[in-house]
Structure 1
């Protein structure tokens, strides 16, 4: 059973990826990965590796990957926020039903400060949206 390998491989890193061209057409019939570029998602930069020149196809594949990766990361961000809401609810239940005085002493100030900070930002952003919608 033969499985076709992709022509490009993206080794993900925190702010982008290293881009490799996959080659299986060699004498030893092994998989070679030749680094061709470095991608930075945050600033959209695509740098050819070494003194290579990227082909139009290379650039198209890289840009497509960047677009797809940006969508995946955005979805993960919102999923993380929904999980944070769940954790806040679980934390409230823990505080009310199971937390000891020592545990509460350990976490109360940090939780209150984080919640105050979050509330301040949310209220300000909500007010900005309401003001913006009234102007339209």
Structure 2
């Protein structure tokens, strides 16, 4: 089993991860996890643990993980938006076919404000993109 383990383990946390180096080459043949750094995806920061100096291999593994994680989070964001569109359609169907007056009273103002806010931002962003295209 130990030969299948990666050299590094990244414990996900908000905005990044804690990085551990995995060691299975010890007398007890147990898995040791040595914390070597804390990383922040948002500001692209890598902080070594304590007075530790990270090797070029450590930094390469960390930078690779950060790039993969950033890509994964971006794909998840788009997937979440597509799910939101689906949910809006399901909500429309619910309003039209199943919602009671009491249920509609409970959600109408919040939905209208959220939809108005979204529409305003989408229209402004669309206009900005169109202006950028015509300005080229």
TM-score between both structures, scaled by the size of structure 2? 0.98
Deviation at 1:3, TM superposition (A): 4.9
The answer to whether the 8 Å contact 2:7/2:21 transfers is yes
Runs of 4+ residues over 3 Å off in structure 1: none
Distance in structure 2 (CA, Å) of the matches to 1:27 and 1:100: 68
Over the aligned positions, Cα root-mean-square deviation in angstroms equals 1.0
Name structure 2 gaps, 5 residues minimum: none
Q: Which residue of 1 aligns with 2:129?
A: 129
| Distance (Å, rounded) in 2 between the aligned partners of 1:123 and 1:52 | 50
- In structure 1, list runs of 5 or more residues that go unmatched: none
Does structure 1 retain, via aligned residues, the 8 Å contact 2:2–2:24? Answer: no
> Scaled by the length of structure 1, what TM-score is found?
0.98
Q: Which residue in 2 is equivalent to 1:22?
A: 22
Tell me, in whole angstroms, the C-alpha distance in 2 between the residues paired with 1:118 and 1:67: 30
Q: Aligned partners of 1:135 and 1:113: how far apart in 2?
A: 33
Rounded Cα–Cα distance in structure 2 between residues aligned with 1:129 and 1:93: 32
Q: How many residues align?
A: 136
Residue in 2 aligned with 1:70?
A: 70
